[in-house]
Structure 1
Amino acid sequence: MRFVFRDGEGQWRNGWKALGAVLLTVVLGGGGLLLHGLLPTALRKAVPAPFVLFLAALLASFVCLRLERRSLASIGLSPGRRWGRDLGLGALGGIVLVVTVAGLVGGAGGFHLEWAEAASASVLVKAAWMMLGVALFEETLFHGYAFQRAIRGLGVRWAQVLLSVLFCLAHPFSSEMEASTKAVAMLSTFLAGWMLGLCYLRTGQIALPVGVHLGWNWMLGCLGFGVSGNDSKGFWTPVFHDRPEWFTGGRYGLEGSIGAVVVLGLAIVLLTRWKGFSPPETASHGAPEIGAEGRPETAAGSAA
């Protein structure tokens, strides 16, 4: 039985470490949301729920890393000039990806955009703040401690598969969606998870995937599309033409369109070929150095 939980050196297996971090995040996040609900309305609006969940994931990561005598920098959480640069580049990349998807689907006759008279800059600023919290939470949860321990236990490829599947399953897919649309939406969400994992692997920092995630979600909202099925108010309102729902994404948003599958697939190919930024400050803390083919170059491949 001891072999199930610990490796030959008596250390906890990486799979249990990852699971422990996720469970601790769930417990802390649940408690945090309960306390968040007791705050005054003005304070709740200033600090949206996603930031509470991010703090829960951050604290869970901190606790797990302290048990290993490591720092948050070892999982790519080291704020600084480079972190800010990667965050900005990622946000720009996410915006470009959404605009490309919209261009493909709209250019093929899937929809046209109409100006939303009720739109305001303040709404979009608030949306950006909200989406920052969402991106910080989801990337810390899915591509932080748990992902990196999965890499050590399973290797990069299988860690990518596992966390991309979990990333997909964590997103809501309405039972009212057509089966074909749901299949396309799930595939594109899986590909998005894989792409975001590559963003970490190529930089050794969570900043780039946070930025891409932020830019993607925010731009969807700006264009008036649903964000993973959630309605949004932007500068425009999409008017869909007589095309299959799986082609445009419908109410679910562009993430449910075949255009998203094509663009995300291309992004994955480009990221796979990209050698990335050198992460010397994280390598010294034990983060796996990733080779050109996406495989760890260290010997940190202990059993899961």
Structure 2
Amino acid sequence: MLRPGKWRPARSLAWMVAMVFAIVLSFGPSTEALAHALPAQPVFGFLAKAFGALIIFGAYVLLVRVGEGRWPSELSLRSAPTGIMAGLLIGAAMFTVVMAAAWVGGVYHFDYHGLVTAWRGAGLALESGVLEEVIVRGVVLRLVWRASSPTTAFVVSGLLFGAGHFANPGATLLTTACVAIEAGVMLGAFYALTGRLWVSIGVHSGWNFTQGYLFGAQVSGGNFGDSLATTSPNENLPDWLTGGTFGPEASVIAFAMCSAVGAVVLWLAWRAGRFSGNPA
């Protein structure tokens, strides 16, 4: 699909659409069937999410191998352990700093509950990190980059990432713009810098797990279930400062944090010459 020749940009975009549909169709029915077949216990729910992640990776590898004639270096197993671990630590640290700033500024208050099972939160964080990063960064950003330019790829993938959260509970145009800019650019920047998806997956999953399980905050308007604490916004403050019912990621604090990190990583990618060729 991506061989040099006539209509290569058009072929890249058509292949992008085909890959997205194929990954979603392979992931959705199989994981739903497994979830219904397993006992309704948190640990089995996590196993179903983990199986879904393997389905996503397998579908992506098969599609790239068959449709592009290569093995996907962006999912190189050699770089997976360090990339995922680094991403998890970065994502967790970033959100912790956001919450610390929100607590100091009186934007949020916390109620600690104690230890509870983390299976549901871990499963949801794993699913969102893998599915969204493979589709948005591995497919959309990479193939729009192929068809056009890095700038267009970042704009398109960021807008699609934000739009994908528009139907979530508590979403507004402001929250959509925040997700598109702060997360869309930052997560794409990690992919551009490393040429791998692992750090982006780790940052995404680590941020969501820390937000939903450790702090008990809303994650893109959703609830991650049992959590160590409950994080509640100061109702006397405006939504642009707290994120409203969508969650802290739509707050100006998170926007500033993610935008700053994204800008630094983009600069590092530019210094490394990553924008002079293909992302993977």
SS at match of 2:194: coil
SS at match of 1:171: coil
1:15 to 13, 16, 21: 13
Displacement of 1:32 after TM fit? 2.0
2:178 counterpart (173, 184, 188)? 188
* CA-CA distance at 1:230 after TM superposition: 0.9
1:94–1:18: structure 2 CA closer, same or farther, 3 Å change rule?
same
Change in Cα spacing, 1:173 to 1:38, as seen in structure 2 (3 Å) is closer
2:26 matched to which residue of 1?
28
Determine which of 119, 122, 126 is the counterpart of 1:128: 122
CA contact (8 A) 2:94 2:257 kept: yes
Q: Which of the two has greater helix per residue?
A: 2
**Residue of structure 2 in register with 1:297 after alignment:** 277
Conservation of the 8 A alpha-carbon contact between 2:192 and 2:274: yes
**Hey, what's the Cα distance between the residues in 1 that align with 2:140 and 2:259?**
24
The 1:57–1:24 alpha-carbon spacing in structure 2 relative to 1, beyond 3 Å, is farther
Deviations 1:216-256 (A, max 9, x none): 00110111101111123321112332211221123321112
Match of 1:278 in 2: none
Instruction: Tell whether the 8 Å contact from 1:116 to 1:237 is kept in structure 2 after alignment.
Output: yes
- The answer for the alignment partner of 2:215 in structure 1 is 223
Once the two structures are TM-superposed, the CA of residue 140 in structure 1 deviates from its matched residue by 1.0
CA contact (8 A) 2:166 2:172 kept: no
Q: CA deviation at 1:6?
A: 9.7
Post-superposition shift, 1:94?
A: 0.5
- Render the CA deviation track for 1:136-158: whole Å, top value 9, x for unaligned: 12111111134212111111110
Name the amino acid aligned to 1:230.
G
Residues 37-75 of structure 1 deviation map (CA, whole Å, 9 limit, x = unaligned): 5423258524234742661464144224323220122xx
Q: Which of residues 85, 94, 98 is equivalent to 1:97?
A: 94
5+ residue gaps, structure 2, are none
Distance 2:274 2:81 in 1: 24
| Aligned positions, number | 271
Query: Are the aligned partners of 2:108 and 2:233 in contact in 1 as well (CA < 8 Å)?
Result: yes
Distance 1:103 1:182, change over 3 A: farther
d(CA) in 2 for partners of 1:47, 1:239: 30
> 1:194 Cα shift?
1.2
Equivalent residue, structure 2, for 1:85: 82
CA distance, structure 2, for counterparts of residue 49 and residue 86 of structure 1: 20
Counterpart Cα distance in 2 of 1:90 and 1:59 = 23
Structure 1 counterpart of 2:246: 252
Q: TM-score, normalised by structure 2?
A: 0.85
Q: Give me the whole-angstrom Cα distance separating, in 2, the residues matched to 1:184 and 1:263.
A: 17
SS state at 2:75 partner: coil
Partners of 1:89 and 1:31 in 2: CA distance: 32
Which position in structure 1 is the counterpart of 2:139?
145
1:113–1:239 contact (8 Å) kept in structure 2: yes
Larger radius of gyration: 1
Q: Please give the secondary structure, in 2, of the residue aligned with 1:265.
A: helix
Distance of aligned partners of 1:54 and 1:135 in 2 relative to their CA distance in 1, 3 Å threshold: farther
Q: Is the 8 A contact 1:18 1:145 kept in 2?
A: yes
- 1:70 aligned counterpart, secondary structure: coil
1:171 CA displacement: 1.6
Cα contact 2:83–2:198 (8 A) shared by 1: yes
Note the residue ranges of structure 1 that are not aligned, 5 or more in a row: 276-289
Check if 1:267 corresponds to 2:261. yes
Whether the 8 Å CA contact 2:20–2:139 is kept in 1: the answer is no
Counterpart position of 2:196? 205
Aligned-residue sequence identity (percent) comes to: 22
TM-score scaled by structure 1?
0.79
CA contact (8 A) 1:21 1:146 kept: no
Deviates more, 1:83-92 or 1:27-36: 27-36
Task: Choose from 156, 164, 174 the match for 1:170.
Answer: 164
Tell me if the contact between 1:135 and 1:210 (Cα under 8 Å) persists in the aligned partners: yes
